[in-house]
Chains A and B, each alone.
Chain A
Amino acid sequence: MSAAITPPAPATPHPREETPFRRFVSEFAESKLALLGLGVFVLIALAAIFAPWITPQNPYDLAQLDIMDGRLPPGSVSGAGYTYLLGTDDQGRDMFSGMLYGLRISLLVGVGSALFAAVVGTTLGLLAAFFGRRIDTVIMRLVDLQLSFPSILVALMILAGLGKGVMNVVLALVIVEWAYYARTVRATAMVERRREYIEAAQCLALPWRRIMFHHLLPNCLPPLIVIATQQVARAIALEATLSFLGLGVPITEPSLGLLIANGYQYMLSGKYWISFYPGIALLVTIISINLVGDQLRDVLNPRLTR
């Protein structure tokens, strides 16, 4: 997706020449907080991707777990010789390892569902704006209906039907989120489709699919990118909530939310670390994405004269 907004910077002899992309980068970099958010998020993503090489143990390989090491506080030394940086859970699982593996699931579900919803929502939004009339009415009615229910309720309804599972959660999140994309894209596309370049493309008798995806879509990207960033954070938070309630991912593929739920019962007896550190990881992930999203909104919003 990012490839679509970052035209390859031409190798010009004048390094200061302003291209839209350079202007975008420099405007984004104006906020140190957003840069910090981006840096933290990249770090988190890298840690999640390379988790098998960073973590001292594979938390789901039962042969590596020692139940005797259960519920050790942070800093304890394991039987195998390494230190449990963030302590262990009730199964004797290293929390640091468990957290990075959980982060993988959380990010996968969050980013995956947001992208999937973006594809569905964008397509429907473009269709509604491009064809108008009946199609527009039907799609937007559906959007209105869905947005009148809170997201948690829609997700609850779907998961009550489908049961637990990573794919089920992704599906539930896609159904919850597509409407936001559809509404945003439609609003932008309605304005764009009255422009001359669309008229020109129509005069050339280009097929409607080509006009929609090659001419209309690229010009609807800025608000789409903003919404997508916000929706990733929302998806991660909602997934964590659903998993915490025991409706989300199964116990064999625990995300951060499920890790927090597992440690919840021990928190009242003062063993805070089982819940606390996955919670901090969740928090930092969500906040860093939101910081980036806020700055993107400010930079890409055409209404703010800069």
Chain B
Amino acid sequence: MLTWLVRRLIQALFVVLAMTVIVFIGVHIIGNPVDILISPEADQAERARIIANLGLDQPLWRQYLVFLNGALHGDLGRSFVFNEPALKLIAGRMPATMELAVTAVLMSVVIGVPLGLYAGLKPNGLLGRTIMAGSILGFSLPTFWVGLMLIMVFAVQLGWLPSTGRGQTAALFGVQWSFLTWDGLRHMAMPALNLSLFNISLVLRLTRAGVRETLPMDFIKFARAKGLSPARVIFVHVLKNIMIPVVTVVGLELGSTIAFAVVTESVFAWPGMGKLIIDSINVLDRPVIVAYLMMIVLLFITINLLVDILYTMLDPRVRLETKG
């Protein structure tokens, strides 16, 4: 087990290192940031000074080593645009993204489980089939398109909800949050729903499949035969059994939700990390791009590692396989 863990950790480390190379070299192929950042009126000496200041005159491998050294010390360079440490910039935007992503994931459970439960209990009813058809749409429609439609209906036509921004925020633990104020919640409603649509469909389908699988089982029949009320059978016996896979998948999806927030944040002008990275790519703010990509890659590698470890601990078959 320990050898396996060490081997797995080294593997993860290697992937991270490979990613730094790919991201760094990749990001350095795009156009020359010198042309963007330095005003055309600047004279030759001024240009040279700024280039040297930004470290852009060094050969690529040396820039990489400087970057790697900095990364190890938690310094991923300064944003060309904001003139702030890239990591600090991203950390400042992170609460907005996290609150959106976590709300979206919670919404997917709150909306997805009841719908899936209904569709599983009445698979041939009109409503049940409509729910399933809707879930196909949730999978296949591009997120940004649904976001636009939400804005068109609820913000432009009906005027019920604000279309952009975070609204009023309140501080908790020194960080500004939208979910603490009514105005913030109103601002969050559409983006969170938009971001959760894919997960709602996923949870809904999992729940439905789980219900269909669980209903014919003996312990359900036994519970019914014991004379328990149908509500108790469904909400306690059935639901308890299907919640395990649902919770696992939802937990795993948190990473993807954070990644997909890029789209939702751009549509709703939600000032999170996702919007920051898109803006940064458009103005070629390299340190921010690199820092964001590194951070999210690290996040995913950590999630994958944790999942692997958890599976090994929970499933004896996996454990035996790695030993043998």
Contacts and interface: CB of A to CB of B under 8 A. Distances in A.
Interface of A: 145, 148-150, 152-153, 156-163, 233, 237-238, 240-241, 244-247, 257, 260, 264, 267-268, 270, 272, 275-276, 279, 282-283, 286-287, 290, 294
B181 interface: no
Interface stretch (B37-45, B138-146, B235-243): B138-146
B115 interface: no
B48 interface: no
Query: Which 10 residue pairs are nearest across A and B when measured between Cβ atoms?
Result: A161-B26, A150-B256, A237-B142, A153-B259, A150-B259, A244-B144, A163-B30, A290-B140, A148-B304, A160-B281
A244 B142 CA distance: 11
A279 B23 contact: no
A267 B30 contact: no
Contacts of B155: 268
B88 to A, nearest CB: 20
Contacts of A246: 278, 282
A257 B144 CA distance: 9
Interface stretch (B58-66, B204-212, B221-229, B260-268): B260-268
Contacts of A149: 259, 297, 300
A245 B141 contact: no
A115 to B, nearest CB: 20
Given A161-B26, A245-B262, A246-B278, A267 B289 contact: no
A260 B140 CA distance: 18
A275 to B, nearest CB: 6
Given A160-B289, A260-B148, A268-B155, A286 B259 contact: no
B156 A150 contact: no
A268 B153 CA distance: 11
B293 interface: yes
B142 A233 contact: no
Contacts of B140: 233, 237, 286-287, 290
A268 B156 contact: yes
B71 interface: no
Given A159-B281, A272-B156, A283-B145, 13 more contacts: A149-B297, A152-B260, A156-B293, A161-B26, A233-B140, A237-B141, A241-B143, A244-B144, A245-B263, A247-B281, A264-B148, A286-B140, A287-B140
A54 B250 CA distance: 47
A299 B283 CA distance: 48
B324 interface: no
Interface in B247-291: 255-256, 259-260, 262-263, 266, 277-278, 281-282, 289
A156 B277 contact: yes
A209 to B, nearest CB: 31
A282 B142 contact: yes
A279 B146 CA distance: 9
B157 to A, nearest CB: 9
A159 B156 CA distance: 33
Contacts of A241: 142-144, 263
Interface in B132-164: 136-137, 140-145, 148-149, 151-152, 155-156, 163
B280 to A, nearest CB: 9
A153 B23 CA distance: 12
Contact of A152 (B27, B156, B263, B282): B263
A162 B26 CA distance: 7
Interface in B78-127: none
Nearest to B15: A145
B296 interface: yes
Nearest to B140: A290
A144 to B, nearest CB: 9
Nearest to A272: B152
B31 interface: yes
A259 to B, nearest CB: 12
Contact of B152 (A153, A276, A287): A276
